[in-house]
C-alpha cells in the first residue's frame, strides 16, 4: 500500500505540472508569503487485462504548507511541507483507507533564481525517487512544482495565449483565456492537449505508457503578484500500457482541485 501511495502522489504531482507548465514571474523573485494549500484528487482508472476489466478509484486529499522565503543574493528558497494525507483506494469493489504518510516525508526545498527558474530540489528522497522512477528518462521533476508559483503576466480581459511543455515523447500544449476579473483576481480558463509516451518503473517492472487526452479547467490568479490562488479541472486520457509484453488498453479520468485554504 505504501508503494501505491507514492505512485499516486507522483501521479498527482505529474498531473499538476500540466496546468503549471512554464509558469514563472515576469521578472524578479516570487512574492514572500506562507500559505496552507489543499489538493483534492479523484482518479478513476480502467484497464482491460486478459479480457477482464479492472477498475481502480482513488480519492485523496493532500494538505501542505508553501513557504516562499526572502531572497538571498541571487536565489530564493521555497519550502513545501506535507501536513496530512487522507483518502481511500478502491480496487474491483474492495476499498482500503490510505494511511497518512505525510509525516514520513521530509519537506521539499526548491531553490530558484531571480527569473523564477528552479535550480535545485532537495528533501523527501523517497517521494522524489518514486517520481523520478515513475517517469524515468522523460519526466523532469523541476517542472512539476511550478503549479504553486506564478503565471506569466496577465494583461487584458479576452487575451488568449498558448504555452507548451514538450519533453521527449511527452507534450502538453495549453491554451489559456483571461475571462474576467472577480474580487480583484483574474479568472482564467485553460484547455490542454496531452501526449504521454513514457516508461514507468514499478517495483522493477518496466511499464510503457502510450496515452492521449485532454485537460480542461479554470484558474484564479492574484493580479497583484500573479500568484495562483486555486486551480480546478479534469483530465481524460486513453491509450495503452505495455507490461511484460502484454498490451493493456487504459482509460483514465481524474478531477482535481488545488487551492489556498489559509
Determine the average pLDDT of the residues in 24-34: 68
Binned at pLDDT 50, 70 and 90, residue 246 comes out as: confident
12 three-state secondary structure = helix
- Give 120-132 pLDDT, tens digit per residue: 888 877 777 666 6
Kindly state the cell numbers that stand for 212: 492521449
42, 61 in Cβ contact below 8 A?
no
pLDDT digits (tens, 9 = 90+) for 217-226: 998 988 777 7
Length of the chain: 262
* pLDDT tens column, 156-214: 899 888 877 777 777 778 888 999 999 989 899 999 898 888 777 667 777 788 889 99
pTM: 0.79
Task: Give the CATH number of the domain where residue 134 resides.
Answer: 2.30.230
Q: Long-range contacts of range 43-47, CB-CB < 8 Å, 24 or more positions apart?
A: 43/8, 43/11, 43/252, 43/253, 43/254, 44/252, 44/253, 44/254, 45/250, 45/251, 45/252, 46/250, 46/251, 46/252, 47/241, 47/248, 47/249, 47/250, 47/251
**Secondary structure letter of residue 29 according to DSSP:** P
Helix and strand totals (H; E) in the chain: 2, 12
132: domain range?
2-260
The domain tally of the chain equals 1
Amino acid at each position: 500500500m505504501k508503494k501505491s501511495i507514492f505512485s499516486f502522489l507522483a501521479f498527482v504531482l505529474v498531473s499538476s505540472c500540466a496546468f503549471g507548465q512554464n509558469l514563472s514571474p515576469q521578472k524578479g523573485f516570487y512574492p514572500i508569503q506562507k500559505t496552507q494549500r489543499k489538493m483534492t484528487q479523484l482518479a478513476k482508472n480502467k484497464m482491460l487485462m486478459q479480457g477482464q476489466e479492472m477498475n481502480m478509484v482513488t480519492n485523496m486529499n493532500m494538505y501542505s504548507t508553501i513557504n516562499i522565503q526572502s531572497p538571498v543574493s541571487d536565489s530564493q528558497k521555497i519550502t513545501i511541507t506535507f501536513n496530512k494525507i487522507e483518502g481511500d483506494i478502491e480496487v474491483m469493489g474492495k476499498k482500503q483507507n490510505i494511511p497518512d504518510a505525510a509525516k514520513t516525508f521530509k519537506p521539499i526545498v526548491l531553490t530558484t533564481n531571480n527569473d523564477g527558474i528552479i535550480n535545485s530540489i532537495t528533501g523527501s528522497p523517497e517521494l522524489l525517487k518514486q517520481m523520478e522512477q515513475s517517469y524515468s528518462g522523460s519526466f523532469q521533476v523541476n517542472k512539476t512544482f511550478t503549479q504553486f508559483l506564478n503565471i506569466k503576466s496577465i494583461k487584458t480581459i479576452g487575451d488568449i495565449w498558448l504555452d507548451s511543455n514538450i519533453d521527449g515523447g511527452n507534450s502538453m500544449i495549453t491554451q489559456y483565456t483571461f475571462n474576467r476579473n472577480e474580487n480583484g483576481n483574474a479568472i482564467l480558463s485553460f484547455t490542454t492537449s496531452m501526449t504521454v509516451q513514457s516508461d514507468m518503473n514499478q517495483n522493477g517492472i518496466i511499464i510503457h505508457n502510450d496515452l492521449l487526452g485532454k485537460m480542461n479547467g479554470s484558474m484564479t490568479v492574484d493580479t497583484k503578484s500573479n500568484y495562483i490562488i486555486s486551480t480546478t479541472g479534469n483530465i481524460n486520457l486513453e491509450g495503452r500500457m505495455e507490461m511484460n509484453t502484454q498490451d493493456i488498453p487504459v482509460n483514465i479520468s481524474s478531477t482535481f482541485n488545488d487551492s489556498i485554504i489559509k
